Amino acid sequence: MFNSAGLWLVVTAAARLAQSGAPMAAVVEEARRAVQQVRMFGMFATMKYLARGGRVSKTIADASGVLHVRPLLTFRDGEIMRAGLVRTVSNGLDRICDFVSKNLPASEITIAHSIVPDQAQMLKSRLAQLLPDDRINIAELGAALGVHGGPGVLVLALRRSEPGNQ
């Protein structure tokens, strides 16, 4: 399961190949390859909206609010998985950068956010040390996806690449 950031990477990979004049079979194969290469990691400002959507229990969401922690989530085998908790945005950005470092080499990154463009830009600036700036995209989460995470969501999707194919 991907959100718009992960789908962006899959669709743009296929579109680039299609624009180059490749046959449809090659474009479909590129999309399948991209699906297997995309990895995602995100930080949420609160668990309140995740609880409303049934992704976490209300008790856990309430406890995280009292403790002032931000959940970190990743996606594995089509499922949203907990990846930890942080107390500050700075610590969350550190964890996202660690996730990227562990998944290099990457051909492209998309950062999607829900009304936190400053955090998205800060993350992009930090990641520019790992990947050329023109291969890091920033996008806003749409209302349909933003409602599940609420304000303050910062999700990163990267497409892993084979060494030498960056």
pLDDT interval class at 159 (50, 70, 90): very high
pLDDT score for 16: 94
pLDDT digits (tens, 9 = 90+) for 15-33: 999 999 999 999 999 999 9
Q: Rounded to 10 degrees, what is the CA torsion of 154, 160, 163, 164?
A: -90
Question: Up-side HSE of residue 95: CA atoms within 13 Å toward CB?
Answer: 23
**Strand, helix or coil at 59?**
helix
Q: pTM, whole model, 2 decimals?
A: 0.84
pLDDT interval class at 66 (50, 70, 90): low
pLDDT score for 164: 54
Buried b (16+ CB within 10 A) or exposed e, 117-135: eebbebbbeebeebbeeeb
pLDDT digits (tens, 9 = 90+) for 96-124: 999 999 999 999 999 999 999 999 999 99
CATH 3.30.1180.10 is the classification of domain 38-160:
yes
Q: How far apart are CA 166 and CA 160, in angstroms?
A: 9
